[in-house]
């Protein structure tokens, strides 16, 4: 079932016992730290913060909402019992069909219009925006957000997740890495000496939000893509100020203009970024001047702060990314048995694939494809290929392969000058100063060598048949298995 808004997703998660309400936490670091505590629990609940210190009851924040298999399955309408690689399989089945755009439909009004503030009524401090991490340069209202913009030449509507900091009652900043679709669009307005209009949605249902931080092709609107995945169009209303399309059921929307650089700037950052560090520091950024705020009664702010833990906000993103990569890999290389991106590796940094080797060079071919493929290449530091009898989502299997099927001198290659980011912690100061954000990539093939695979020693693990029969006969009695 597709959810029409964030609150119906939260309600359903609560009914399933997947949500925990936290009363009375402080926006200043406490909400961030409670969110971080949850990241180490495989069955952690989604967190719903209410009665935030100094704020009225009903002004809520949600975090850790896509950090477990069950929550991801619920949000993406996949089987709730699917775990890890099975969840990736279910997702890749869902996106297997050829994409056919389902454009949004415009409605006259919607719940997001319940409260509209303009002029002196605009106050970004109305919301209990957290200061998420100790060294953050301020409070970040946009972490689980999407920024809606329209290309001035083509009319294409893009939605992207770019962090948003609060600097005053009507002043914010939007941080876009160079080359993001939103950055390309705003530079077109700026080249004409004009501010760039934008609507920042801070609270939408998680499938729509997930499209905003996925690398959807140029000229394809995330609205059309989300409509296709949902099997029904997203309902949109026109923003009061920008007339940009915004989800009718959004929780909070900030409308305004990104001022051209050099006109009005403020220092942005540092911020706890996705690699798990404050790597890009602080720098002057053009301001986003807020012209209207729209919000629902009792609004819920969606929070997806980058943090470090095995079940962090990358969990859902990496399930999605693994499915997309696996589908594409399958079209190019035979025998692929699985693809996994461990979120412990921080986002896209480590990709593990398993393959049933059929010819010499097959495993390396798998790695080579991943190395250059658009959805896999960005900031990918290690590619590990293991045999198809092993599960790439199982750390035990992966480490076993590294420990027993890999001779470093023979099976590790290093590629230099790969596609990177200023957020990379390993950029030496000189390289950073020269704006050379490239990095190297380690390609590790931890597979039985193809040309003497038949002589490779058999494993001591019991055969699947023996283990299945033994489990059925003895598992319950000896180990209490179901």
Ligand X SMILES: Cc1cc2nc3c(=O)[nH]c(=O)nc-3n(C[C@H](O)[C@H](O)[C@H](O)COP(=O)(O)O)c2cc1C
| Using rule CB under 6 A, residue 209 touches ligand X | no
CB–CB of 65/49 below 8 Å?
Answer: no
Give dist(CA 282, CA 171) in Å, integer.
17
Stretch that binds ligand X, among 5-13, 116-124, 207-215, 287-295 (CB under 6 A): 207-215
* Residue 146 Cβ vs ligand X, minimum distance, rounded to whole Å: 8
Q: Which of 176, 446 has the CB closer to ligand X?
A: 176
| Using rule CB under 6 A, residue 175 touches ligand X | yes
Give dist(CA 112, CA 239) in Å, integer.
10
Stretch that binds ligand X, among 180-188, 241-249, 448-456, 464-472 (CB under 6 A): 180-188
Q: Which of 181, 296 has the CB closer to ligand X?
A: 181
E strands present in 376-453 = 382-387, 412-418, 439-446
DSSP for residue 217: P
Site for ligand X in 214-233 (CB under 6 A): 214-215
Q: Which of 126, 285 has the CB closer to ligand X?
A: 285
* Residue 84 Cβ vs ligand X, minimum distance, rounded to whole Å: 20
| Using rule CB under 6 A, residue 177 touches ligand X | yes
* Residue 305 Cβ vs ligand X, minimum distance, rounded to whole Å: 8
| Using rule CB under 6 A, residue 92 touches ligand X | no
Q: Which of 247, 388 has the CB closer to ligand X?
A: 247
Cα 171 to the center of its chain, rounded Å: 26
Q: Which of 150, 354 has the CB closer to ligand X?
A: 150
Q: Which of 242, 421 has the CB closer to ligand X?
A: 421
Q: Which residue is nearest to ligand X (CB)?
A: 160
* Residue 6 Cβ vs ligand X, minimum distance, rounded to whole Å: 15
* Residue 330 Cβ vs ligand X, minimum distance, rounded to whole Å: 22
DSSP secondary structure string, 138-176?
A: SEEEESS-EEEEE-TTT--EEEE---EEEEETTEEEE--
Stretch that binds ligand X, among 211-219, 275-283, 434-442, 474-482 (CB under 6 A): 211-219
In whole angstroms, how far apart are CA 225 and each of 52, 98, 201, 222, 331?
35, 11, 17, 5, 21
Q: Which of 143, 357 has the CB closer to ligand X?
A: 143
In whole angstroms, how far apart are CA 172 and each of 24, 250, 349?
26, 19, 30
Q: Which of 49, 111 has the CB closer to ligand X?
A: 49
Q: Which of 379, 386 has the CB closer to ligand X?
A: 379
Site for ligand X in 110-169 (CB under 6 A): 143, 158, 160-163
Give dist(CA 462, CA 352) in Å, integer.
25
Site for ligand X in 300-319 (CB under 6 A): 304, 313, 317
Closest alpha carbon to 342 in 353, 333, 334: 353
Give dist(CA 320, CA 336) in Å, integer.
17
| Using rule CB under 6 A, residue 20 touches ligand X | no
Token digits for 363? 């495993």
* Residue 414 Cβ vs ligand X, minimum distance, rounded to whole Å: 26
Q: Which of 317, 362 has the CB closer to ligand X?
A: 317
| Using rule CB under 6 A, residue 281 touches ligand X | no
Nearest-Å Rg of the Cα atoms of the chain is 23
CA dihedral for 311, 317, 321, 324, sign (positive or negative) = positive
CA dihedral for 187, 188, 194, 196, sign (positive or negative) = negative
Site for ligand X in 314-353 (CB under 6 A): 317
* Residue 63 Cβ vs ligand X, minimum distance, rounded to whole Å: 11
CB–CB of 165/172 below 8 Å?
Answer: yes
- How many residues are there in the chain? 482
Token digits for 160? 């992207």
Q: Whole-angstrom distance between the N-terminal and C-terminal Cα of the chain?
A: 30
Q: Which of 117, 188 has the CB closer to ligand X?
A: 188
**CA 11, 17, 23: angle at the middle one, nearest 5?**
70
* Residue 109 Cβ vs ligand X, minimum distance, rounded to whole Å: 28
Q: How big is the site for ligand X, counted in residues (CB under 6 A)? A: 18
Binding footprint of ligand X on the chain (CB under 6 A): 143, 158, 160-163, 175-177, 180-182, 213-215, 304, 313, 317
């Amino acid at each position: 079932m597709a959810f029409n808004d964030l609150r119906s997703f939260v309600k359903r998660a609560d009914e399933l016992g997947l949500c925990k309400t936290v009363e009375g936490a402080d926006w200043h670091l406490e909400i961030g730290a409670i969110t971080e505590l949850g990241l180490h629990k495989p069955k952690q609940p989604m967190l719903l913060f209410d009665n935030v210190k100094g704020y009225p009851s009903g002004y809520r924040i949600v975090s850790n909402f896509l950090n477990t298999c069950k929550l991801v399955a619920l949000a993406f309408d996949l089987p709730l019992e699917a775990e890890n690689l099975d969840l990736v399989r279910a997702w890749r089945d869902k996106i297997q069909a050829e994409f056919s755009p389902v454009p949004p439909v415009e409605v006259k009004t919607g719940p997001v219009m319940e409260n509209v503030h303009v002029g002196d009524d605009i106050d970004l401090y109305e919301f209990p925006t957290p200061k998420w991490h100790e060294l953050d340069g301020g409070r970040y209202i946009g972490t689980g957000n999407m920024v809606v913009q329209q290309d001035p030449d083509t009319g294409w509507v893009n939605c992207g997740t770019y962090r948003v900091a609060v600097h005053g009652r009507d002043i914010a900043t939007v941080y876009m890495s160079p080359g993001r679709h939103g950055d390309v669009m705003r530079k077109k307005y700026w080249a004409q000496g004009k501010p760039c209009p934008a609507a920042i949605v801070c609270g939408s249902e998680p499938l729509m939000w997930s499209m905003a931080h996925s690398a959807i092709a140029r000229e394809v609107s995330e609205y059309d893509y989300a409509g296709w995945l949902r099997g029904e169009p997203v309902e949109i209303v026109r923003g009061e100020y920008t007339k940009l399309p915004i989800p009718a059921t959004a929780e909070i929307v900030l409308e305004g203009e990104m001022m051209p650089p050099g006109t009005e700037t403020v220092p942005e950052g540092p911020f706890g970024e996705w690699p798990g560090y404050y790597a890009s520091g602080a720098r002057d950024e053009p301001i986003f001047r807020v012209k209207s705020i729209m919000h629902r009664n009792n609004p819920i702010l969606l929070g997806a702060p980058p943090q470090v833990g095995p079940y962090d906000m990358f969990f859902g993103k990496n399930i999605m990314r693994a499915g997309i990569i696996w589908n594409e890999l399958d079209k190019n290389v035979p025998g692929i048995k699985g693809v996994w991106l461990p979120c412990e590796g921080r986002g896209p940094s480590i990709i593990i694939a398993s393959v049933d080797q059929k010819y010499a060079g097959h495993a390396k071919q798998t790695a080579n494809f991943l190395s250059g493929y658009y959805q896999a290449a960005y900031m990918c530091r290690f590619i590990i290929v293991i045999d198809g009898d092993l599960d790439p989502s199982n750390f035990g299997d992966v480490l076993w392969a590294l420990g027993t099927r890999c001779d470093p001198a023979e099976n590790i290659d290093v590629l230099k000058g790969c596609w990177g980011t200023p957020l990379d912690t390993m950029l030496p100061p000189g390289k950073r100063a020269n704006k050379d954000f490239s990095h190297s990539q380690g390609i590790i093939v931890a597979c039985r060598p193809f040309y003497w695979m038949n002589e490779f020693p058999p494993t001591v693990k019991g055969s699947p048949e023996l283990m299945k029969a033994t489990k059925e006969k003895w598992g319950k009695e000896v180990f209490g298995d179901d």
